[in-house]
Amino acid sequence: MYEGPVQDLIDELGRLPGVGPKSAQRIAFHLLGADPADIARLQQALQKVKEGVVFCDVCGNVSEEATCRICRDARRDPGSVCVVEEPKDVLAIERTREFKGRYHVLGGALDPLSGIGPDQLRVRELLARISDQEVTEVILATDPNTEGEATATYLVRMLRDFPGLTVTRLASGLPMGGDLEFADELTLGRALSGRRTV
């Protein structure tokens, strides 16, 4: 263990997702040796994100304004809504350039063992959005893992009684247990264009 502020920095960095103790230590010592101007830029970037980034009122994606640029874009098809777990999944699907509709970010996936149920996700907002708007297709693009599949199954049950609504799921081809974020554009594009009705 290191003394005082160095150990505090390592501990705080280690709390970040995907950063283990060794990575936290490497990052901390990199920051200790970094130019003060670089540290100031990092501090400013963190402050700007914390103060200036919000979640879109419509879809839940990250945005600098109350409504994100995708929801504001009149060229996007409001009848097609792609449901994803996290904002990073929006970026993954946008990279494919296959989807021209709008999104709905759940804010996670069902995970009863971690205490995450439908009330902790933006499911109510999705149902209200489908009721209030002229949505004709909902594409379930949750991650191909246990939590993502459970979330998709739950949403299919919730959405099946909406008249005239087609519910589709990404086609197979995505590796089970993976994240949409890590799928290459070609594979994800094919899964999106070959989606199946559920």
Can you give the residue range of the structural domain that contains 148? 76-193
Residue 59 domain-assigned (yes or no)? no
pLDDT of residue 3: 83
pLDDT of residue 144: 83
**Residue 63 structure tokens:** 């945005």
CATH of the domain at 34: 1.10.8.420
Per-residue pLDDT of the chain (198 residues; tens, 9 = 90+): 788 899 999 999 999 989 999 999 999 999 999 999 999 999 999 999 999 999 999 999 999 999 999 999 999 999 999 999 999 999 999 998 989 999 999 999 999 889 999 999 999 999 999 988 789 999 999 988 889 999 999 999 999 989 999 999 876 655 555 566 655 566 666 666 667 677
Place of tokens 């200790």: 32
What does the pLDDT read at residue 35? 95
**b/e map 121-137, b = 16+ CB within 10 Å:** bbbebbeebbeeeebbb
Is there a single domain that holds both residue 125 and residue 185?
yes
Question: Other CB atoms closer than 10 Å to residue 107's CB: what's the count?
Answer: 16
CB 141: neighbour CB atoms within 10 A?
28
Is 96 within a domain? Answer: yes
* Helix H or strand E segment including 81: strand 77-84
Coil vs helix vs strand at 61: coil
> Which CATH number does the domain housing residue 144 bear?
3.40.1360.10
Q: How many CA atoms lie within 13 A of 152 on its CB side?
A: 22
pLDDT of residue 187: 64
65, part of any domain = no
For 11-29, give one letter per residue: b (16+ CB within 10 A) or e. eebbeeeebeeeebbebbe
Domain termination site, one of 12, 36, 51: 51
Given this model, what pLDDT does residue 172 score?
61
pTM: 0.78
Q: Are residues 106 and 179 in the same domain?
A: yes
Q: Compute the distance between CA of residue 113 and CA of residue 138 in angstroms, rounded to an integer.
A: 27
